[in-house]
Chain A
C-alpha cells in the first residue's frame, strides 16, 4: 500500500476527528464534495455534522474558528488556496495571533494553506505565505516536506494550544508517496537532517527540500557533499541544528519558495550570522522565488521559483570561496 502526501493530510484529519471530539473542519466545499483537492474526502460522511461547508467568507471562517476555540473547540480551517487567506489576514494576525497575549485564553486553531505552485496556476493560486505569517508574533508556521511530516505535524498542529498556519505544498500532494504512516514524529521545533554532507549546508523546507536533494545528487558527481536541513517548521525554527551543521560545513545556503524580502531565509541567515559568525568561511547565500508576482505560463514559472540547477550552481560558488 502506498500513501500520498495529500492522503496523509486526509488521514491526519480523520484521526483527529476520531480521537478528539473538539475537532471539526470548516472550509469551502469540504463537506460532501471532499474539498477542492480531496483532502477531506468522505470525512463529512464519516463524521456527520463535523465537516462543514463554509460560505466564501474567509474572514468570518477564521473569526468563527477563534470564537469556537475560545469555547474549547479545536477547529481546522481549510483555505481553498493559501492565496485566499489574504482575505482572512485580519482575523489571523490581529485576532488569533494576539488572543493569548491579550487575554491569557489560548487559541488552538489550525489553518491549512494549500500552498505553492503547480504549472499554470498563476499569480493567485501559487503563493507561499510562510514568510508573511512568520512575521506575526503568536503564530506557529509549519512547512512539512514529507508524507510522514504532513501526517504527524498536522496532528501536532491540532494539539498545539496556539494558532498554527499549516503550509501544505500542492506540488507534493500527489507526487510524494510513502509506504506507511508513522505513529509519532519529531516535534515541530526540531529540524531534520535530510541528507548528511561535509561541504555546504543547505537549509530549506517544504517542496524545496526535494529540489535541494536533487541538487545534492548533481553536486555529488562533482565531489561536493551538501548537507540538507529540512526545517519542517519555520516558526519557530531549530537554530541549534542549523548552527551545528554550519559548524561542520562553514558554508550556508538558504532556499525557500516564498519571496525574498523579510523572509524565512533572511531570518535564518541573520540568526546564523548573529550567533555563529565565526563558524562561517563564506558569506551566507539565499535563493528565493523571483521578486515578482508568480507567472502563469510554465516557461516563466519554471524559472521563477528556485530549481535544483540554480541551487546546485549557488552551492558550487559557495564551495569555491
Chain B
C-alpha cells in the first residue's frame, strides 16, 4: 500500500544551515520559556480557562513557523506556541490574551490558544478540531482570485483531529482545488487520554495522503534537523505548484493534555523510546556536537528568553482588563444591524 504514496525524495532541500537551525532553536526555547511561565501563572490562579502546552512539539512547530514568509497564511492549533512566535506573534500578545487584557487580540472575548490576527494571515482557531483547515483553504482561494500565486497556507492538527469529518472534507477539497496548503499532522500518540489504537486503524496516518491524491511526508518530530529538512521541502513543494502536502510528525506529548491533567493514563514506557525524547534537549546536543553553540552561549540564550518573557508578563499585567462597562456587547460589524438589535 505504502509504495503508492507520493513521497518526494529527501535531500532536495539542503540540510539546515547553522543560521536556520539556531533561529528555529531560539523560537523553541522562547516557546518553552513562555509555556513554563504560563503554567506557573495558571497554577497561581492568574489565568482564566485552560492552559495547553506544546512541550515536546516545539521542533515541528518552530520549523513550520520559520518556513512561512510574510504574506503566507498560518492556522496554528493549541500546541503551536513556537510556530506562532516564529510567524511573528508579538510576545506580549500571548500574555495579553491569557490575562484577558482589554488591549489583547480578543479583548477578553475569547482566550488563550484561541488568539490570532486574521488580518495578518494569522488565524484564530475555534475549539472545534478540524474546522480551521477549510478556513485556511478559503484564504488560499481568495489569494488565487486576487492573483497572489506566491503565498502558501499551513495549518496543524493532532492525531485525534484527523478523525473529524471536517479534516476529511478539507483535505479532499484542498486536493480538488490543488491549493498550496501544508497540513501538518502532529501525532503525539494521544488525543487527550485516547491512544492511537482507539483513534485510527491505518498503520500510519501518512497513508491518508494516498487517498486524497496528495503528497505525503513523515518526520521525526524530536529531531529539529529533520523537521527543518522535511518541512522545508513540503513548504517548497506547495510553493512551487505541487498542491497540498500532508506532513506527519511523530513525537510524544511531554505534558498532560492541559495543565489540569496529570496524564496518569499515558504509557510510561513510551518515554524511553525515540519518540519520547525532548526535542529541545536533542537540539541542544546537536548544537554542541556541531560546535554551533557551547554551554555558555546556550545559557546566554536561555537568559535572554527568560528576560523577554518576564518583560512581556510585567507589561501585560499593567494593562487594563476586560471590562463589562466598556464592552460594546455587539457581535455585528454592520452598524445598522447592530442598531436594530440594540433597540430591545
Query: Counting CB contacts under 8 A, is A187 at the interface?
Result: yes
Residue from the set B138, B141, B165, B170 with the largest chain A CB neighbour count within 10 Å: B138
Residues of A within 8 A of B176 (CB): 55
Please tell me which one of the listed residues B114, B134, B166, B169 contacts residue A67 in the complex, with CB atoms under 8 A apart. B134
Residues of B within 8 A of A236 (CB): 337, 340-341
Residues of A within 8 A of B128 (CB): 90, 94-95
Query: Counting CB contacts under 8 A, is A102 at the interface?
Result: yes
Please tell me which one of the listed residues B105, B143, B165, B340 contacts residue A59 in the complex, with CB atoms under 8 A apart. B165
Query: Counting CB contacts under 8 A, is B227 at the interface?
Result: no
Residues of A within 8 A of B149 (CB): none
Chain A interface residue count: which class?
35 or more
A59 to B139, CA, bound (A): 15
Query: Counting CB contacts under 8 A, is B325 at the interface?
Result: no
Question: Secondary structure of the B side of the interface?
Answer: helix
Give the contacts of A239-280 with B (CB-CB under 8 A). Answer: 239-240, 271
Q: Let me know if A105 and B332 touch, CB within 8 A.
A: no
Query: Counting CB contacts under 8 A, is B189 at the interface?
Result: no
Q: Let me know if B114 and A102 touch, CB within 8 A.
A: yes
Give the contacts of B111-146 with A (CB-CB under 8 A). Answer: 114, 116-119, 123-124, 126-128, 131-143, 145-146
Please tell me which one of the listed residues A60, A138, A187, A271 contacts residue B331 in the complex, with CB atoms under 8 A apart. A138
Please tell me which one of the listed residues A68, A97, A101, A239 contacts residue B343 in the complex, with CB atoms under 8 A apart. A239
Residues of A within 8 A of B332 (CB): 100, 138, 140, 162
- Would A160 and B138 be within 8 Å (CB), given that A101-B109, A103-B124, A239-B343 are in contact? no
Nearest B residue to A70 via CB reads B118
Nearest B residue to A236 via CB reads B340
- Would A66 and B344 be within 8 Å (CB), given that A95-B126, A102-B110 are in contact? no
Query: Counting CB contacts under 8 A, is A226 at the interface?
Result: no
Q: Let me know if B173 and A67 touch, CB within 8 A.
A: no
Q: A20 CB to closest chain B CB, in angstroms?
A: 12
Q: List 8 A-B contacts (CB under 8 A).
A: A55-B173, A68-B138, A73-B138, A103-B106, A103-B117, A103-B124, A138-B331, A189-B337
Residues of A within 8 A of B (CB): 24, 50, 54-55, 57-73, 75, 90-91, 94-95, 97-103, 105-108, 137-138, 140, 160-162, 187, 189, 235-236, 238-240, 271
